[in-house]
Amino acid sequence: MLYLFGLVLAAGFAVAIPAFSGGLGQSRAIAAAMEGTARQPEAAGRLLILMILGLAFIESLTIYAFVIALQLLGKLPETSAVVSALGGG
Amino acid sequence: MRRPLSVIVVAAGLFAAPALAFASEGEAKAPGTWLNWLLSVRVAGHPLAPGPAWLTFYWALLVAAALAVASYVGTRRLVVRAGPRQLTLEIFVGGIRNLLQTVLGDRAGEYLPFIGALFIYIAVMNLLGLVPGMVAPTSNLNTTASLAIISFVVIHYTGFRESKLGYLKHFVEGVPLRFSFKVSAMLTLLAMLPVAALVLISHLVTAIFLPVTLAMRLYGNVMGEERVVESLIEVVAHSMARWIPVQLPNMVLGVVTSVVQAVIFAMLTAVNLSLVLHQKQESEDSQVA
């Protein structure tokens, strides 16, 4: 039972913590791009491309954690099996 | 593109994809696609698709064949004053070439076929997942790992072709390893050996990590998009609201992320190629204004 508890807890935190820090990191990139666009509106196109590139790199770290969380969740048994193991209900 | 490079690319791809599909049989769910009938086809006693993962492999083959036919048909009878069909293709190729020139500089022309094909192939494969009845081949780690292996092989093959055996010195870059018959020089060399070993390990780890990150980024993004669409449909599927397409806003975002991920894959491969190529430095152009 502790094994299942650990699996679910780990899967939950595995998505939450990288999402939080990924959001922080991406917000800095977007803020810098917005400030650059405000200073020089004609550079908006180039800054947009660089911002998208940077965002995708930061997002990939969140995606790695998401993939691991999915693999953890794949190891959980079916709900019916858990219910019958706990003694029916 | 020089002929040995194209041979290497094709060989790496042909080897990598079926090898990886062998390695992962028995996955959970078979997506419902137009090629699902292949699951029950047997050739000389062996099934064509021993597992649902093979469906994405056949879709990838189909996309490659369709793109090859489309490119062949699209490039017949090229004229200087072009009609709309040829102009559209020229816009695509020119755009990719401009992007590549900011990375590779002079040598963009040599690697344009490889990087361009990589970009178009991955973009089409990602977008295929948004069409009902088709599945994105890149939603399977085997396809993305095969593409990453191709990039890895091309990058290191190019490194060896550029610098021959000097490419191995590239892995201990930054460490002054100079041999001369003076005692001080030999002592320095001895002291630098552990440093060189650490630098070598870190460069090797980076080199191995690159295809891993390429594969996982593409796989995670495309599979995540499919999972989200699937989950949204599942929310409304058993209720009265099942005719409302709640997954459409996510699919619109999916169009953007599909193309962006293809760009990221191609650009990362191009950037790593530029790191192993010797480029002529032009002092004025390399300054950032």
Write out pLDDT tens, residues A14-63: 999 999 999 999 999 999 999 999 999 998 888 888 888 888 889 889 98
Query: What chain A residue is nearest to B212 in terms of C-alpha separation?
Result: A64
| pLDDT, average across residues B145-169 | 87
pLDDT of residue B31: 64
The answer to whether residue A65 scores a pLDDT higher than 60 is yes
Across the interface, do B263 and A63 touch by the CB < 8 Å criterion?
no
The alpha carbon of B114 is separated from its chain's Cα centroid by a whole number of angstroms, namely 10
Q: How confident is the model at residue B38 (pLDDT cuts 50, 70, 90)?
A: confident
| pLDDT, average across residues B127-151 | 88
Query: What chain B residue is nearest to A53 in terms of C-alpha separation?
Result: B264
Lowest mean pLDDT among A34-43, B32-41, B141-150: B32-41
User: Domains in chain A, start-ordered, CATH in brackets?
Assistant: 13-76 (1.20.20.10)
Beta-ladder partners of B47: B42
Please name the residues in contact with A63: beta carbons below 8 A apart, sequence gap of 6 or more.
B216, B217, B220, B221, B224
Greatest alpha-carbon span in chain B: 87
Q: How many CB atoms lie under 10 A from the CB of residue A73? A: 15
For A66, the closest of B213, B224, B260 (CB atoms) is: B224
What angle is formed at CA B249 by the lines to CA B244 and CA B255, rounded to 5 degrees?
130
For A64, the closest of B220, B227, B261 (CB atoms) is: B220
Q: Please give the span between the terminal C-alpha atoms of chain A, in angstroms, as a whole number.
A: 17
pLDDT of residue B16: 65
pLDDT of residue A78: 80
C-alpha pair distances (Å), B66 with each of B71, B139, B233: 9, 19, 30
Most confident of A17-21, A66-70, B247-251: A17-21
What is the ipTM score, two decimals? 0.74
Closest CA to B257 of B140, B142, B138: B138
Whole-prediction pTM value? Answer: 0.82
Q: Please give the span between the terminal C-alpha atoms of chain B, in angstroms, as a whole number.
A: 33
For B224, the closest of A56, A63, A74 (CB atoms) is: A63
